[in-house]
Every structure is written in structure tokens, then in C-alpha cells.
A and B are shown apart, each in its own frame.
Chain A
Amino acid sequence: MLVMLGLIFGTFLLLFVAFRILLPPIYEGHKISTLTNIYKSLNELSDTSSDFSDDIVSLSSGSNMEILVTDNEFQPINSTSMDSTYMSARLFGYYTGLFNEEYKVLRTKDQYRIQTSTDKARGLRDLEMWGQLDNGGWFLVRTPVEGIEEAAKIADSLLLAVGVFVFIIAIAIIIITSEQISTPITQLTALSKRMAALDFKARYDGPSDTETGILGENFNKMSSQLEQTISDLKVANVELQKDNEKKTRTDEMRREFLGNVSHELKTPIALIMGYAEGLKDNVADDPESREFYTEVIIDEANKMDAMVKKLLTLNQLEFGQDPIRMERFNLTALIKGVVSKMQLSIKEHEATVSFPYDHEIWAWGDEFKIEEVVTNYLSNALNHLDGQRKIEIRTIEEGKLVRTSVFNTGKPIPQDDLSRIWEKFYKVDKARTREYGGHGIGLSIVKAIMDGHNQKCGVTNYSDGVAFFFDLEASQPL
């Protein structure tokens, strides 16, 4: 803006100086050539006639000049001047060189001399040309210099006025245009600051046809790219964190699992070691005691074996190495099969098992694994049997699902333990569980199997007992 103003100011200064310095010589040159032409015209006129006063009037009128033509005796012949006598006297004075007025010669030719002089009587400066015509007559032409200087002054003030006016207009135009240019740039600057602070709501919404508009559009593109990239990064970061948490959880679970397993194994190992040592040291000295000691060792070894087998089953289920094979099977027949297989154990526990049904029910599932679930429920029911020693198995059709429940009379499960019984190694009554050879893994296996089927399993407490259930998708008989 300042540069532009300076440029305009400079232009005017230059014009002003040019006027002041160059105008006088140019004007003078112009006048001199006019004078030269007049001399030529006078020469021609004097050749043809003696009286040409009308002609010199027309010559002088165009250029504000006074012309005097005399004969060779300096007597005026033709004149446009009001005071031709005075002029002829001056002419004579110049000729004789007696004239003591100051003058400055500008140009001298054989026939004429051009000079500036100051007429003290009039107090004016004149540009004069005087000399001898070809016919022997003399002439004097003069024009006042004041005119030139006045014109120059007027031109100066005009220039100044125009200059100021143009200057003001220029300033106004510059302010307006610079506003137009700088406003969007100021906006963009503010925008870029917000974008740098990752404010993705910041958007350029001005016109897009100007350069700043294109810049603004690019800002928008950059911002959305940045947003995309950052959001991608954040997603990746969250995933990474999740993975990390998952890994930590898995590690924790593994550590817990190993701790549980080793703890679970320590009791049977301690018993086997101790009873074996007892046998060796003859602590049991009668055959009956020895028999008991041997039985304990065998039984504890069997328990360990059973536990390892169950753990392997559970591991395979949990890691999906033993996938669920869905097929249609006769659920009623399966339950009856399990009950008859466990007949011996049922008798041992003095239990009454009832399984009422009016028609056979078919379901979708992995027959082998569902058999394991039913076996688990039934043996749990037997192991926790109390009171009336009744076990009741039911299959209830509920829409598309069939729910199998195994109820046993006995003590309800404490409220605090209800949600934890599906956890590995969790035992409500540790001593009792060990007594019947449990490890707290059975229900975890049930849960893993039912999760594999994508079906529910659960437990309900009753005042006189507990019912475990699982759901399956019902199907038409084959």
C-alpha cells in the first residue's frame, strides 16, 4: 500500500519538476520557431507590397505579438502596436547599440537577433526579434514572457489540484482493493491457526474463484486429510490398547490358571507322597491299614488323572480345537441314555430320578457334547443331593427353543457364589467338592460347550433345591 502511494506521489513529483524545468525551454523553443516563421512571412510580404498592415494583424493575432515594420530609415510602415514610435525607437536603439537596457541574446543570425529584454518603462519582460528585411526595411517583433510563466503557474496549481485529487482517489482505491485482498488472507491466517490447533470444524467458506479462495479450498482439503489420518491413527491406537489389554488379561488368566492347576495338583500329590511314605515306614502296620493306604494312593492318582483329562477337554473347547458339530438328535433318548448309564451312581446316592415326558423332543446340537453337559448336571445333582433325595429332569419347549433343566433337592447355592460357579476351579464347598472328586471344572466345561452352541445355560435356586438348565434349538424329528 505504501509502495503504491509512493509510486503515485513520485509520478506527480516528476510531472511537477518536468513542468518547472522543461516547460520554459520548450515554450521558448516553440516561440522562437514562431518568431522565425513570422520573419519569413514578413520578408515575403515586404517583397510583394509596401502596405501589409492587415496581413501582420492576422499574423500577430494568433500568437499575442506586437509587430513593427519600418523602412531603412527606421520610419514605421506597418505596425500592430499602439505605440509604434516607441517601438521604432527601441529598434533604433538596438541597432545602434546605444540602448542601454539589459538584454540577453538567445540567437543571432545575419538577418535577425532573438533576445529577451526587460522594458523598464512597462516593467515587463519580453521576448524580442529584430533585424533587417531583404528589402532593406527593419522589423521588431515582441511578445511578453509573462504569459508563459503565468501559464506555467496555472499548470502547476492545476497539476497540484489534480495531484491531490488523484492521490485521494488512489488512496481510497488502494484501501478498498487491499481490503479485498487482505481480508480473505486475514481470514485464512486465523483459519490456519485453528487448523494448526487441530480444530477440524474450522472451514473456509468464502468464494472459491480467487487465488485466496483456491488456497482456502486447499486448506479445507488439508484439514480433512489431517482429520482422516488422525482419526485412523486414533482407531489404530484404540485397537492397540485393546489388544494390549486383551494380552494382559490373557496373561493374567494364564497365570491364574497355572496357579490354580498347581494348587489343585498339590493336594493329591501331597497325599500320594505322604501315604507312600507311610507304607514304606510301616506307619500302617496292619493289613487293613495298608489296604487303606494303597487305596488312597490309587484314588488320588485317579483324581489327578480325571482332572487332567477334564482340563484338556476344557482347553480344547475354549481354544476351539474341538469345534461344535451341529446335527439333529433325539434329546429325550439322550437324557434317558445318560440316566441309565449313571444308574449305579444313582443307587449309590439313594436318589430318585424322574424324567416325565409325553412325546420325544428333537434338537439341534453336538450330540456328544450335549451328553457331556447332561452327565455333568446329573452328577452335580447327585453330589449335592440332600433332603428328599429327588432329582427331576424336564424338557420344556418354549417357541423355537427347548430348555432342559435338572433339579435336585438340597441346599440352595449361596447368593454370592451364584455368579461364580461357572468359573474354573471355583468351588462353593471345597471339602465337599474334593470328597466326591470334583475340581470345579465341570460347570466351566458346560459353559464352554453352551457358548460354542451360542445358547444359554444357567441356574435357579429354589427353597428346597437347585435347578440347572441349558437351551437348545428345537427341531423336527428326523
Chain B
Amino acid sequence: MNDCKILVVDDEVRMRKLVKDFLIRQGYDVIEAGDGEQALDLFFEDKDIALVLLDVMMPKLDGYETLKEIRQYSQVPVIMLTAKTDEKDELKGFELGVDEYIAKPFSPKILVARVDAVLRRSGVTGDAVLEVAGIKVDKSAHQVFIDEKPVDLSFKEFELLVYFLENKGIALSR
């Protein structure tokens, strides 16, 4: 469907397999790494990686350190997976430049939906024109059409509409 390459980093083989299975079903390409060092090696080898799913607690190099390394060279979207639920840890992740934060245990379906959303938001898969139920949004031209007729929207309204369309099917919090 969209042939994006996703790097899944987790020291737990079964977790990697589960995430991989779900992502492949969604049409993504998946490469795996068992620790932070391996993840960095793979990341710098392969320039096509569109998103990194990063576990925090890993041997050799933990998720935070790996993220720091990646952020020095790349603004690739990163979603962190962790069993740590401390707000402090979460904040640390965001300070280091994480795009999403998912706490274990999680639903793989939600994980996949988040991956979709992050990719769309970052513009990797984001088509310039979104079309849902007769509503057509041209993001690059900032124009909205309903049944091919242009509609005037304020900037906020436009942003909100785009956000809703991009997160279609996901329960959103305020």
C-alpha cells in the first residue's frame, strides 16, 4: 500500500515479531534490530527508513541513547515503546525529540494506526490532496472543495479538518 520502511528495535524477539506481523499486514516494509547498537548500524546503512519504533529498555545502548544518536543526524519520525509509565521518562523522551510515546502493554492495532498517523503528519505518506466522502482538501494549495465547489475556511478550521481527515478512524483526545 505504501511501501514505507520501518525499523523495529526491541530486545524481545516475540515483541518484534508481533509488531512486524501487524505492520506487514498494513503494507509496510520492516527491518528488525535487537539492541541500540544494531539499530544505529542498520539506520545509517539504510537511508530509506521512514520511521523508527524504539524500545527503551535494551542492552548495550538504551532507547534514549539510540534516539540521541539518531537525532544528531536525522529528523526521522520516532515512536517510543516502553514499559516505563513514569511521566518523567515520558517527558525525557519528548525532550529528546520523540514523535509518539506508547506504553506497554499496548494494542498492536493502535500501534499501527499511530504509525500511520505519524507518517502522515510528517508528510512522508501524506498525499498533497486528501479526499474523503466528497470533501477534497489540497494541503499544498490550502484549498478545500466540497463536491468540487471551493469552501472558505479560516486557518484554524483548515488545520482541524486536515487533522481529522488524517486521523480518520482514530479516537482523538483534546
Contacts and interface: CB of A to CB of B under 8 A. Distances in A.
B134 interface: no
Interface in B1-47: 11-15, 18-19, 21-22, 25, 34-35
Contact of B104 (A270, A275, A284): A270
A84 B26 CA distance: 175
A274 B109 CA distance: 9
A438 B117 CA distance: 37
B104 to A, nearest CB: 4
A431 interface: yes
Contacts of A267: 12, 15, 83, 104
B84 to A, nearest CB: 8
B154 interface: no
Interface string A201-243: 0000000000000000000000000000000000000000000
Contacts of A430: 11, 57-59
A434 interface: yes
Contact of A277 (B11, B58, B108): B108
A296 B109 contact: no
B109 A281 contact: yes
Given A267-B104, A281-B109, A274 B34 contact: no
A274 B15 CA distance: 8
Interface of B is mostly: loop
A120 interface: no
B106 interface: yes
A269 B12 CA distance: 13
B18 A271 contact: yes
A262 B39 CA distance: 27
A319 B106 CA distance: 35
Nearest to B24: A283
Given A430-B57, A431-B34, A269 B105 contact: yes
Contacts of A93: none
Contacts of A258: none
Contacts of B106: 270, 273-274
A274 B21 CA distance: 11
Contacts of B108: 274, 277-278, 283
17 contacts: A267-B12, A270-B83, A270-B104, A270-B106, A274-B19, A274-B108, A275-B14, A277-B109, A283-B21, A296-B14, A429-B59, A430-B57, A431-B12, A431-B34, A431-B35, A431-B59, A435-B13
Question: Nearest 5 pairs between A and B by C-beta?
Answer: A270-B105, A266-B83, A431-B11, A270-B104, A274-B18
